[in-house]
Amino acid sequence: MTDLYVAAGGGGDPIGTLIAARAITVDPDPPLIATYAWERPEVDPTHRPLGERDFTGLAHEAGGVAFTPATRARRPAGSTMPGLAGDLPARLLLLDPAQGLAGLARQIASMAEAAGGRVRVVDIGGDVLTHGDEPTLRSPFGDSLTLAACHLTGIPTTVYVAGPGLDGEIEQEALLERLAGGHPLTPGRDAASAAAPALAWHPSEASALWAAAVQGARGAVRTVGHTVDVTDVSPRLYHLPLERAIGHNPVARALLDERPATLDAAAALSHRITGIPGLAPERGRTTRAPRREPSTGRTAMPHRDEAMKLVREAAAGADHVTFRHAAGVLGLTWRDIPALRDVLDTHTPLLPLT
């Protein structure tokens, strides 16, 4: 018997979910993590969560379909999930919301019943607790859909918020008010270290910020699109009952009231409530214009001193930057992150500037 962890928002959330699982339980077996294959545009240009039909090499197990290192996305789609399946000590299962809210609930129920335990939803940053009107809110739909689907399963579910405010969508102070009364956990450094092989190349920012906070980083961090303050609160992992989380989230409540039959209808409902398109790139998240002209063919990797000078100039006084931000400043792509780390001789979750 084991619990089913659900990475609420897809993308890099399985990385943070692994760290959370290491803090929540001492189970020596790799955790079972269900996740959307929903990536940023530079990874996947389709702007939609990918489904089973979008992959080859999926394995049928644990009540669903699992990613393996041999899994591949069918073009033009792209996905980091096969890489995460190889580098995270976890089993990653695909959540496919193409069949709408009810279909997603059936998938989660099947996985949870096969595992035999409860459901634990993990959100990095805290937009799962949105009220729908925060000015910095960018992408509430996926997390809200997850909450509603978990409610429909009828399976006991706990919601976890890791690193309140680290995704830059809701202010930390507002989230702490919504999380008041709980007793947070704080993962150990070894929990964050378990995610290091994935963070070495993955463009995730929120999970990298949380891992860095767990390992002791503090201060202002420049990310793609905004600056985040990593504080003494940032390493914490808060938890609350599913129904309390839904009570905060008007999109999840509306999904349960209206039960849209398709993914597009569910996304339209979310758009109506928040003003943010559910199936479009995150509002306000545009990749910074490169500071260097890429060379013909393969992008030229700058020397260390040149790279650090350019990154510091673009950091606006921040103490750290994410590697996704640094790559963009230098005219590189997320695929260049491992080589950039080698040039800078830095293997921490964030690039320190001080």
List the domain boundaries for the chain. Answer: 2-258, 304-352
Whether pLDDT at 296 is above 50: no
pLDDT for the residue 298: 54
Q: How far apart are CA 342 and CA 335, in angstroms?
A: 13
Residues 150-194 have pLDDT tens digits of 999 999 999 999 999 999 999 999 999 999 998 999 999 999 999
What's residue 30's pLDDT? 94
User: Burial, 325: exposed, middle or buried (Cβ in 10 Å; 0-12, 13-18, 19+)?
Assistant: buried
User: What pLDDT is stored for residue 168 in this prediction?
Assistant: 94
Instruction: Convert 134-145 to b/e letters by CB count within 10 Å (16 or more is b).
Output: beebbbbbbbbb
Sign of CA dihedral 194, 197, 200, 201: negative
Return the SS3 of 93.
Answer: strand
Q: Which pLDDT band, with edges at 50, 70 and 90, does 284 fall under?
A: low
- Which residues, in sequence order, are bridge partners of residue 95? 36
CA proximity to 320, closest of 287, 350, 348: 350
Side chain identity at residue 12, one-letter code = G
Which pLDDT does position 99 carry in this prediction?
86
Instruction: List, for residues 233-245, the tens digit of each pLDDT value.
Output: 999 999 999 999 9
293: pLDDT strictly greater than 60 = no
Residues forming a β-bridge with 2: 116
φ/ψ of 2, rounded to 5, equals -145, 160
pLDDT in tens, 207-218: 999 999 999 999
Give me the phi and psi of 312, to 5 degrees please.
Answer: -60, -40
CA-CA distance, 62 to 92, in Å (whole number)? 10
Q: Are 68 and 56 in contact (CB under 8 A)?
A: no
Tokens at 214, concatenated: 């767990």
Q: What 8-state DSSP symbol labels residue 42?
A: T
- 3-state secondary structure at position 339: helix
pLDDT at 123: 98
27 — pLDDT class (breaks 50, 70, 90): confident
Q: Which are the contacts of 92, defined by CB distance < 8 A and separation ≥ 6?
A: 14, 33, 34, 35, 66, 67, 81, 84, 85
Which position has the token pair 């306000």?
A: 284
Could you report the per-residue pLDDT of 74-105, keeping only the tens digit for each?
999 999 999 999 999 999 999 999 989 999 99
Residue 283 has pLDDT above 90, yes or no: no
- Cβ pair 271, 260 in contact under 8 A: no
- Distance between CA atoms of 354 and 350, rounded to whole angstroms? 12
Contact 33, 14 (CB under 8 A): yes
Whole-number pLDDT of residue 247? 98
Neighbouring CB atoms inside 10 A of 205's CB total: 30
